């Protein structure tokens, strides 16, 4: 794995594919974000978003298979903390053309599942699936390190599916 910017400030975390371990990931990544100066309220957003992304990876990408793993890569890109949550792709993510609104979901149109992705997109400065060479889904979350201007986080090159 190569990192486009600042290889030094990066961290990797590999978790067993079991519900509950997203909470360990949450605490690890929150501590990492704190060291990078991410404001505390943004860390709260990050915690919720990361847990949702991990649960998606565990339940969907890895289909709850206990011998699989979820890999979380954290790094600094420009002024952003970028987190990638990668599974082993038992089930590939199939993007929907148009995500359903909560009204539509409550009306029984489609599963309630997609709520996680909707929540994530509200909480992050940027989020979406990215393509990876290896097999598996990789979901990217980005947070600005400092509560600065309205500059967004630089997009990862390659295909990028917004949610």
Partner 1 sequence: MDKHDDTSREPVEKIIELRLPSKLGYERVAMDTASSLARRMGFHDDRVESLKTAVSEAVTNAIEHGNQQDSAMKVVVLLTARDDELIISVADQGRKILDQDDTTSSPHIADVLEKFDKGGWGIWLIRELMDEVEFTTAPSGGNQVRMVIHLEQ
Partner 2 sequence: MMLEDELTVSTRDREGVAIVDLVGDVTTFAEEKINSAYREVTNKGTRFVLLNFRQNDYINSAGIAILIGIVTEVNRNGQKLAVSGLSQHFQKIFRMVGLAQYAEIYQNEDEAISGFKRNTLRVS
- From candidates 12, 14, 27, 34, binder to partner 2 by CB under 8 A: 34
Residue 146 near partner 1 by CB under 8 A:
no
Element (H, E) at 28: helix 21-35
Q: Which residues contact 90 (CB under 8 A, 6 or more apart)?
A: 61, 62, 63, 65, 68
Please say whether the beta carbons of 45 and 32 come within 8 A.
Answer: no
147 binds partner 2 (CB under 8 A): no
Does residue 23 interact with partner 1 by CB under 8 A? yes
CB of 34 or CB of 135, closer to partner 2? 34
8 A C-beta contact, residue 156 and residue 140: yes
Q: Which of residues 72-101 bind partner 1 (CB under 8 A)?
A: 88
Closest CA to 117 of 73, 152, 161: 161
Q: Which residues contact 28 (CB under 8 A, 6 or more apart)?
A: 11, 13, 72
Q: Which is nearer to partner 1, 18 or 78 (CB)?
A: 18
Binding residue for partner 1, selected from 2, 41, 67, 97, defined by CB under 8 A: 67
Name which of 5 and 9 has its Cβ closer to partner 2. 9
Least distance (Å) between residue 6 CB and partner 2: 10
Q: Minimum Å distance from CB 82 to partner 1?
A: 15
Hey, is 10 helix, strand or coil?
A: strand
- Establish if 51 lies at the interface with partner 1 (CB under 8 A): no
Question: For residues 150 and 61, what is the distance between their CA atoms, to the nearest angstrom?
Answer: 33
Contacts to partner 1 by CB under 8 A: 7-16, 18, 20-21, 23-24, 26-28, 30-32, 34-35, 64-69, 88
Binding site for partner 2 (CB under 8 A): 9, 34-37
């Amino acid at each position: 794995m190569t990192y486009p910017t600042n290889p030094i400030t990066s961290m990797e975390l590999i978790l067993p594919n079991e519900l509950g371990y997203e909470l360990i990931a949450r605490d690890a990544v929150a501590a990492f974000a704190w060291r990078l100066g991410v404001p505390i309220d943004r860390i709260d957003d990050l915690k919720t978003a990361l847990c949702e992304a991990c649960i998606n990876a565990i339940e969907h990408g890895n289909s709850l298979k206990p011998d699989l793993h979820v890999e979380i890569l954290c790094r600094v890109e420009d002024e952003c903390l970028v987190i990638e949550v990668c599974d082993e792709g038992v089930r590939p993510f199939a993007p929907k053309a148009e995500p359903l609104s909560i009204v539509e979901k409550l009306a029984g149109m489609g599963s309630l599942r997609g709520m996680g992705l909707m929540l994530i997109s509200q909480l992050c400065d940027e989020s979406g699936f990215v393509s990876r060479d290896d097999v598996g889904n990789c979901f990217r979350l980005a947070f600005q390190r400092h509560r600065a201007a309205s500059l967004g986080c630089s997009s990862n090159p390659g295909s990028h599916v917004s949610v």
